[in-house]
Every structure is written in structure tokens, then in C-alpha cells.
Amino acid sequence: MIVDHPLLGPRDSAEFVILGDAALLDRPDWQDPQAPERFYEYLYLRQNPAGLHRELWYHEQGDRSWLVVTRDTTTHDIVSVELARDVARRNKAKP
Amino acid sequence: MRYSAFTIFSQGLTGNRGWKELWRKPEPKPSYDVIVIGAGHGMAAGYYLAAKHGISNVAVLEKSWLGSGNTGRNTTIIRSNYMMPENQPFYEHSLKLWEGLEQELNFNAMVSQRGIVNLFHSDSQRDDFVRRGNVMLMSGADAELLDEAQLRRMCPYLDFDNARFPIRGGLLQRRGGTVRHDAVSWGYARAASKLGVDLIQNCEVTGFRIDKGRCVGVETTLGPIAAGRVVSCVAGSSSRVMKNAGITLPIESHVLQAFVSEGLKPCLPGVMTFGAGHFYISQSDKGGLVFGGGLDHYNSYAQRGNLPALEDVCEGAMAIMPMLGRARLLRMWGGVMDMSMDGSPIIDETPIAGLYFNGGWCYGGFKATPASGYCTAHLLATGEPHELAAGFRLDRFRRGQLIDEKGVGAQPNLH
């Protein structure tokens, strides 16, 4: 797989470490009354879709940036690649 | 027809015209006591339901042909060298069932207890393996520590003096070995079919019929089928199937690749695993070296992987057996694993009454087939988990009671 890095251009997937579902960017609020349940879901449950999956990739053998890669788990096609910090900022900007 | 030396002899004299199909090919009935989804572990569950609990009004639904999924995509190794108290007795029971399997099923599954050696490469790893060996012995399994001299006599061709990963010895389980994987599903299907269990191939489950919080049947590509109890045994696709019942699982699907070399003369006595990386190897009865390594590390349902994983596996091969560099690769394939969040399986009821779940087998599914079927049948028949699978509960993640054999936390691609 070739990852089209937003800053560095096309890179070999072997340069990356994969953490998993990009939902991990949205950490639950620890002060929420439902926090134990929210953290259980956050830590252990995964949607694990067959199809498009947004996931966190870390460019360990490169510029050490975190990326959000949108990839089809049935074909391995990479549809889009964004910097994770851009995605996180966008998520934060949402009400 | 019962198989025996006499049957082979008499069939040989009569032109082999009397052999019958191994299992019936029934049309699905409108209703069953139990529906088992998936004919891998599910076929074993169907067999033990009929054989041990007398429940034979059972359908085992397989979306493709028998043995087309992970049963036909593994590296056929059996062993019981685990350490966690929830795992080790279960896998040891599985190994015992393997030992009696062929007599019980009257089917040659080519169970070959040729031994498995886990190599160690440092003093601290030796200490760790001594501890593991003691845990194995205490569970009633066998384990032997081989020092370097013993191992040199057994496998002189290993790269003992490798500069980076010198081989100091190994932990041997003589009762471990390999089994002919297809024959396992054929044997279970034949024995279960004889007891009245319906194996229905090319029947994909597309949904569950849920009435007032109770599962009362399944929707399939061959139409709806009613059932008293339903169990999903579809490791690899568990998330996809259970999503239809509205259940989100603590599982990610990952691809694991395996490889076979061209056929060679006998050179490996048993199964061998590299202690400093992901690589394990055995030799099939046809002579091909069957080997594999770690995951590709990304979520996948594609049943095929990429070349970086192959390179990593081959590096492991060259580190312990430089002679393999001259063998040519014949085939490679990928299977989809249910990687659970702690690396251990799940055999349990679900929040929906009448719906049960068996999955999360990570790389360990094949060796577990008999015990998995055995414990799943027990759960379905009695409503209580079998004591050997009592730790494999679905809610253990909520309770924080993880069975993390490798100690890497909730990171499925590292287990």
C-alpha cells in the first residue's frame, strides 16, 4: 500500500505503525457521569467495518506525524489521507 | 459406512465403487432447536451437541463450502503451551480431544504429534520459558526444556551462532504437532451428519429474527429459518454478523498470511518457532514447508495481505534456518482473524436471549477447534459456560478481567 502523505507525498506503508480506529481521537470526558461506560466503549469496542474505515497511522520511519487514513478494509484501497491534528481540530470546532 | 482397514481392503477388491458421500446434503427445515452459524468451530459444536447432549435437531449453516474459511487457511498446528490460568486448561483439554479425535469420529484427520519447539535466544528468555514450562506441567500438559546441546543433536542445521539471535535452547512440547485441517471439518461433518445434524452449505446468514429481545431465528440467503437458540461461530467475520443483531464487539478483523514452499525431502522433525520475532514453521506430509509469522497490522477483510509481512517472515526464517534461503515459495494466502482486545477468545451468551457468541480466536483458532466446539455445545445445551471456558466471557472487558497472554493491552494488532 502507498500512503499519500499530505506533507511528504507518496510513502511506503511499511514506514508506518497502525494504531487503529480514528474514533480514538475522541476521548470521552472523564467528568461525565457515564464516564466508566464511555471509557469501556472507547477502550474496547470497535465498529470494525467491512468497507471504508478511518484509522490512525503513525509515520514512525518518517516525520513522526499522525495521520488519519481512510481505507477500504475489503480491498485495501486508500481513499484519503489527512493530518490527524487537522481532523482533531475540526472535531473540536464542532459543538 | 464405518471406516476400517477391512473397508479399504474390501473396497479395493470391488473397484472402490462402494464409497459414499461423507455427509447428507439436506434442504433447510423451517425450524431447528439450534442453529449454528459457520461450519468451522461450528461444525465441531454441532457434532458435540448431538454426541454429548443428545440435541440433534441442529442446523450448521455455512456461507460457502465446508472448509472454505479459516479452517482451510491456517497452518494446522496443535499445542497447549499457554500460560494464563483461563487459557491453559482449555487448550490442554483441546489437545486431549485431538488425541482421541480420530477414534471418536472414525475419520483419519492425520493427527501427528511430532512435537513443537519454541526457541529461546537469551538467558532471560530461558527463565521465561522455564516458568511457562512449569505452568504447562501444572496444568497436566507436557513440557521439556532442551539445552543447546540437545537441540544441536535434534536440529543441527539451526543457526546456533547467529550474531544477533544466538539459539540457546528450546521449550519442547512433544504432544504438540500438526493435523490435516480439511480432514477435521470433513470428519466432524460426517460424524455430525450421521447423528442427524444438518450441514447446509452455501447458506449465508443475512440477519437475525429478534422478537421482544429474544432471538427466534435467522434470515438467510435460502430464506428465514426459526430456531430456539442461535450461535455465531464465524471468527474473522464476527463483527459483520453480530452487527445484524445490533451488537458491537471488542474485536478487530486482521489479515494473517501463511506460506508454503515447494515440496522437499523430510528435514524438519516438528514445529519450530523463532523466539525473537514472528516466525514459525513445520513440514507437511507432502514435503512443503508451511510457515507464517505476524499480522499485517491493519484492519482487513480481504483474505490477502501485502509483501512487507512476507519480508518480515522471511527475515525470521533466515535468522534461524539459513538453509531456507534456497527453498522456493510455492503458495501464500491470507485468512481473516477476529483479533480480540486482549488476545483471548470469547464463548458466551449475548445480551439478546437465545443468541450466543463464539469468536475472538486471534491466531489460535485451529488448535482450539475441538474444545471450542465442546464448550460451545455445553453452553448451548445447559445455558451455563463450561468450566474450561468460564473465563471467556463477553463482559470481561467491562469488568476489567482481561486474559492478556502477551501483556500488550487493548491493542488487537499486537496480540
Residue range B406-414: mean pLDDT, rounded = 93
What ipTM was reported for this prediction? 0.95
Hey, what's the torsion of the CAs at B285, B330, B98, B72, to 10 degrees?
-140
Q: How far is A95 from chain B (nearest CA, A)?
A: 26
Best B298, B306, B404, B408 residue to mutate vs chain A (most A CBs within 10 Å): B298
SS (H, E, C) chain A: CEEEECCCEEEEHHHCEEEEEHHHHCCCCCCCCCHHHHHHHHHHCCCCCCCEEEEEEECCCCCCCEEEEEEECCCCCEEEEEEHHHHHHHHHHCC
Q: What is the pLDDT of residues B296-314, one digit of tens each?
A: 999 999 999 999 999 999 9
Q: Give residue B281's pLDDT.
A: 97
Q: Is A85 on the interface with B (CB under 8 A)?
A: no
Q: Tell me which residue in A13, A17, A20 faces B308 most closely, judged by beta carbons.
A: A13
B203: three-class secondary structure by DSSP: coil
Closest-CA residue of chain B to A15: B308
Q: Is B394 on the interface with A (CB under 8 A)?
A: no
Q: What is the pLDDT of residues B239-265, one digit of tens each?
A: 999 999 999 999 999 999 999 999 999
Which residues are within 8 A (CB) of B376 and not within 5 positions of it... i.e. 6 or more apart? B41, B42, B44, B45, B48, B231, B233, B347, B356, B358
Best B234, B238, B242, B252 residue to mutate vs chain A (most A CBs within 10 Å): B252
Q: What is the pLDDT of residues B345-356, one digit of tens each?
A: 999 999 999 999
Window A:37-66, CB contacts with B under 8 Å: 40-41, 43-50, 53, 55
Best B255, B299, B336, B415 residue to mutate vs chain A (most A CBs within 10 Å): B299
Q: Tell me which residue in A18, A40, A74 faces B413 most closely, judged by beta carbons.
A: A18
SS (H, E, C) B82-151: CCCCCCHHHHHHHHHHHHHHHHHHCCCCCCECCCEEEEECCHHHHHHHHHHHHHHHHCCCCCEEEEHHHH
Q: Give residue B23's pLDDT.
A: 97
Q: Please report the domains of chain B, with CATH numbers, ordered by start residue.
A: 27-77+181-251+342-414 (3.50.50.60), 111-176+252-337 (3.30.9.10)
Q: Is B80 on the interface with A (CB under 8 A)?
A: no
Whether B403 shows a pLDDT value over 70: the answer reads: yes
Q: What is the pLDDT of residues B191-240, one digit of tens each?
A: 999 999 999 999 999 999 999 999 999 999 999 999 999 999 999 999 99
Q: Whole-number mean pLDDT of chain B? A: 96
Q: What is the pLDDT of residues B267-294, one digit of tens each?
A: 999 999 999 999 999 999 999 999 999 9
Q: How many CB pairs under 8 A join A and B?
A: 73
Q: How far is B339 from chain A (nearest CA, A)?
A: 10
Q: Is B389 on the interface with A (CB under 8 A)?
A: no
Q: How far is B268 from chain A (nearest CA, A)?
A: 31
Instruction: Report CB contact under 8 Å: B300, A73.
Output: yes
Q: Give residue B191's pLDDT.
A: 98
Q: What is the pLDDT of residues B80-129, one digit of tens each?
A: 999 999 999 999 999 999 999 999 999 999 999 999 999 999 999 999 99
Q: Is B239 on the interface with A (CB under 8 A)?
A: yes
Q: Is B359 on the interface with A (CB under 8 A)?
A: no
Q: Tell me which residue in A21, A44, A50 faces B301 most closely, judged by beta carbons.
A: A50
Instruction: Report CB contact under 8 Å: B239, A43.
Output: no
Q: What is the pLDDT along chain A (95 residues), one digit of tens a residue?
A: 999 999 999 999 999 999 999 999 999 999 999 999 999 999 999 999 999 999 999 999 999 999 999 999 999 999 999 999 999 999 888 76
Instruction: Report CB contact under 8 Å: A74, B298.
Output: no
Instruction: Report CB contact under 8 Å: B341, A44.
Output: yes
Q: How far is A90 from chain B (nearest CA, A)?
A: 25
Q: Is B303 on the interface with A (CB under 8 A)?
A: no
Which residues of chain B are within 8 Å of residue A12 when distances are taken between CB atoms? 308
Other Cβ atoms less than 10 A from the Cβ of B328: the count is 7
Cα A68 to its chain centre, rounded Å, is 4
Q: Give residue A95's pLDDT.
A: 65
Q: Give residue A92's pLDDT.
A: 86
Which residues of chain A are within 8 Å of residue B297 when distances are taken between CB atoms? 17-18
- pTM, rounded to two decimals: 0.95
